[in-house]
Homo-oligomer: A and B are copies of this chain.
């Protein structure tokens, strides 16, 4: 079920949700960190007109998940996995019109489990949210 990442490392529309929310995944950087980018538009805002917490969660889940997928994958392949737990701290707010980027950072784990920290920042580098997640590799027959 593993699959190689695209040559340029850019994934668009990799799932129904990604297609609908319209964020871009970048797994092509040499630092081995997954990234998710979004240009914040009306469809991403909450009642206060800021980037919605659920969209923030989605971007951090993607960035952290792809970081885990690269780390747990054999060779250069992306390994299928599930999010076990994801914790998000909402530190600041973002208005529409901004570009935000989420980055994952591997902090430890084993052969099947990866602990990942994530950070979502706006175009000026200001941190908007941080995350701490646990991801688990899925094996073909789901035996573990």
Give chain A's interface residues, CB within 8 Å of chain B: 14-17, 19-21, 41-48, 52-55, 57-59, 61-62, 65, 80, 82-93, 107-109, 111-113, 115, 117, 127, 130-132, 134, 136, 144
Contacts and interface: CB of A to CB of B under 8 A. Distances in A.
Contacts of A16: 41-46, 52
Contact of A91 (B19, B55, B107): B107
Contacts of A42: 16
Copies of this chain, how many? Answer: 4
Contact of A45 (B15, B44, B52, B131): B15
A7 B92 CA distance: 33
> Chain A at the B interface: mostly helix, strand, loop or mixed?
mixed
A107 B88 contact: no
Q: Point out which of A16, A59, A62, A83 has the most chain B C-beta atoms below 10 A from its C-beta.
A: A16
B48 A57 contact: no
Nearest to A14: B47
B54 A17 contact: yes
A116 B82 CA distance: 18
Contacts of A87: 85-88, 132
10 contacts: A15-B45, A15-B46, A15-B47, A52-B58, A53-B61, A53-B86, A57-B88, A84-B89, A84-B113, A115-B130
